[in-house]
Amino acid sequence: MVDERITDGRRIGQLLASELSGLDIPPLDGVEIVDATPDAEPSATGTQGYRLQYRDQVIAVALLYPEQVVLSFDHPSISSCQFPGSAERSALRIRSGREVKRAVDTVRTVLERADV
């Protein structure tokens, strides 16, 4: 077993996109990755890697930073959510590959509770 912790923002973003687009359980079966920029380079100010679309509505933007990904939600039903590990509203921070599963579970919970 490899004891490697993935902390590169680009790789975390790829893992997250792969997890979200590969699930066929409701409500995640309605999530699509759109406007992806495969060669997006993480930056200190956050580079847009892709958007999350749910039922034909863009609900979030994945911003790539050198050591994390931030899912910034921009939908009236979601914008007031407080996410674990974040002092900001409507922002979900993913700081390692290990946190991707937790992020997917959080997205699922938000979609189940939100009126999207």
| 77-86: pLDDT as tens digits | 776 666 655 5
| 33-59: pLDDT as tens digits | 999 999 999 999 999 999 999 989 999
Q: What global pTM score does this model have?
A: 0.87
Alpha-carbon gap, residue 103 to 12, rounded angstroms:
11
Residue type, 45: T
State the distance between the two ends of the chain, measured CA to CA, in whole angstroms.
40
Beta sheet of 68-73, edge-to-edge order: 31-34, 47-54, 57-65, 68-73, 91-94
